[in-house]
Amino acid sequence: MTFRMMAVIVGIALGCVTSAKAEPLQDLMNPAVFQDSFVGEKTAPVTLVVYSSPTCSHCIDFHERDLPKLQDTYVASGKLKIAYRPFVRNSVDAVIFMLANARGRDKFDETVSSFMTKFDEIAGAANAEDALREIAASMGINRAGFDRAVADQAYLDKLNAATTEANKKFGVAGTPSFFVNGQQVRIEMSFNEVAKAVMKATASLE
C-alpha cells in the first residue's frame, strides 16, 4: 500500500467518528484493541489516561511543558502511572504511530515523542512524506523499513478501531483528552486542571 493510498483509507475510516455519545466508563481501563503500557509503576494507585495525537499542537504543549512536572512530582514518587493511547486525526498521525509500532513496543513512546519534537518541521514541509522519511531515517528507519511500516494494513485497522472505540465508547471527541482514575478531566482554562485532578486523587489516598 502506498503512502497516498493509506491517507485516503484513514480519511474514510475517521469520517464515521466525528460525533460521540459517551457510555459509562467502567471499561476505560480495559480497552478492546491495545493493551496499555505505563509510564511509572504499574502498582501506582492513581492512573492518568491520555488520548494523544502526534500532530496535535495542544498535545505537544502538554508533552513538553506539563508532563515533565507530573512525572517529577507524582510518577517519581510512585503515586501516578500514565498510559498514552493513540488517537488518529489524520494520515500523518497514522504514519507516525505505524512507524513507532515498527520500531517495537519498547521504543513506541520514544518514537512518537521524537516526531512530536519535529512538529514544526513536518507542518512546514512542502512534502510531508519527505519530512517523515527524513525524520524516520534519523532513527534508523531506512526507506524499505518505512514502506513496510506504512503497508501494515492490520495495524492500521487496529489504529482506526482504537480511535473509534475512544470516540464512541469513551466520548473522546478530540485530543488531548484526559481521564484520572476513570473520570474525564474537562479542560476549561489550562492543563493545570490535569495536575489538580491528579493532586485531588492522590490526596484522597492519604
| CATH number, position 36 | 3.40.30.10
Q: Is residue 150 part of a domain?
A: yes
Query: Residue 49 domain-assigned?
Result: yes
pTM, two decimals, is 0.86
Classify residue 161: in a domain, yes or no: yes
> Is 19 within a domain?
no
Q: Is residue 18 situated within a structural domain?
A: no
What is the pLDDT at residue 188?
A: 76
Domain that holds residue 140: 3-10+27-203
CA gap 109, 118 in Å, rounded: 15
Number of domains the chain is built from: 1
Number of other CB atoms surrounding residue 70 within 10 Å: 21
- 56 is a domain residue: yes
Domain assignment of residue 17, yes or no: no
Q: Return the pLDDT at 176.
A: 94
In this structure, is residue 15 part of a structural domain?
no
Q: Give the pLDDT score at 26.
A: 73
Report how far residue 75's alpha carbon sits from residue 41's, in angstroms, rounded to the nearest whole number: 8
Per-residue confidence (pLDDT) for residue 119, from 0 to 100: 94
Q: How far apart are CA 165 and CA 168, in angstroms?
A: 5
Residues of the chain short of pLDDT 70, as ranges, are: 1-25, 189, 206
Q: 46-52 and 80-86 as β-strands: parallel, antiparallel, unpaired?
A: parallel
What confidence score (pLDDT) does residue 16 get?
35
Res 206: pLDDT? 67
pLDDT of residue 186: 86
